[in-house]
Amino acid sequence: MSQQVDQRSLGELFGDLTRQMSALVRQEIDLARAEVTGKATSAARDVAIMGTGVGLLYAGLLALIGAAVLFLADQGMTPWQAALIVAIVVAVVGGLLVMSSRQALASRDIAPKRTVETLKDDAEWAKERIK
């Protein structure tokens, strides 16, 4: 077995390593930026759709609340009792909806997993090059 000997000086080798590491870091930053941008765009679209749905639900809910209060008042309750009962029911349902949507948003993962993996690979590569 013959070994290949590199005839470059130590300064040239370190210069090459520095240039390669610099290019690698730039590529990793570009990868992280692309990955995070893609995930953030997807999350923003989901939030915008959810916001539109919430606005429409809110308008419908206000109409239903008014109708429920009027219905209970027609059934013999005083208006303030009817409004109190409807307000309690609406508050409970609203609280459940808020908790549910918070959990859904909290479970969304926007970490750049591919970039983290390639950074680990790059660190191993750099260690091998320095030896």
Instruction: Check pLDDT > 70 for residue 100.
Output: yes
Instruction: State residue 17's pLDDT score.
Output: 83
pLDDT tens, position by position, 2-52: 566 667 787 888 888 888 888 888 888 888 888 888 888 888 888 899 999
Residue % of the chain over a pLDDT of 70 = 95
Alpha helices in the chain (DSSP H): 10-74, 79-106, 113-130
Instruction: State residue 56's pLDDT score.
Output: 94
Residue % of the chain over a pLDDT of 90 = 31
Instruction: Check pLDDT > 70 for residue 1.
Output: no
Alpha-carbon distances, residue 100 vs 22, 44, 50, 65, 84 (angstroms) = 45, 18, 12, 22, 25
Residue carrying the six token digits 């959810």: 50
Confidence (pTM) = 0.41
Instruction: State residue 2's pLDDT score.
Output: 57
Cα dihedral value 98, 99, 104, 108, nearest 10: 100
Summarize the confidence of residues 84-95 as an average pLDDT.
91
70 pLDDT band, cuts 50/70/90, is very high
Summarize the confidence of residues 77-100 as an average pLDDT.
92
